[in-house]
Amino acid sequence: NNSNIAYLASPNGGIWKTTNFLATAQVTGKQNPGDPEVTVTVPAPTWAPLTDLNQSLSISALVIDPANSSILYAGTGNNSSSAVAGAQIGLLKSTDAGVTWSSIGNGTFNDLSIIQILVFHPTAVAGDGSSDKLLVATSGGLYTTGLDGASPTKVNGLPDGGLTDLVRQTPTSATVFAAIANMGVYSSTDFGSNWTSSLPLPQATRIRLAVGTDGTLYAAALGTYTTVAASNGVSNKAGQKVLSLTR
For all residues of the chain together, what is the average pLDDT?
A: 86
Q: Give per-residue pLDDT as tens, 79-128.
A: 665 555 578 889 999 999 999 999 999 999 999 999 999 999 976 454 55
Interval 62-74 mean pLDDT = 96
Q: Which residues contact 109 (CB under 8 A, 6 or more apart)?
A: 75, 88, 90, 91, 136, 138, 143, 152
233 confidence band (pLDDT: 50, 70, 90): very low
Please give the pLDDT value at position 236.
41
Question: For the whole prediction, is pTM greater than 0.95?
Answer: no
Q: Give per-residue pLDDT as tens, 163-184.
A: 999 999 998 889 999 999 999 9
Please give the pLDDT value at position 46.
97
Please give the pLDDT value at position 228.
58
Please give the pLDDT value at position 85.
59
pLDDT of 207 above 80: yes
Terminal-residue alpha carbon distance, the chain = 30
225 confidence band (pLDDT: 50, 70, 90): low
Q: Give per-residue pLDDT as tens, 28-42.
A: 999 899 999 999 999
Interval 52-67 mean pLDDT = 93
Please give the pLDDT value at position 244.
42
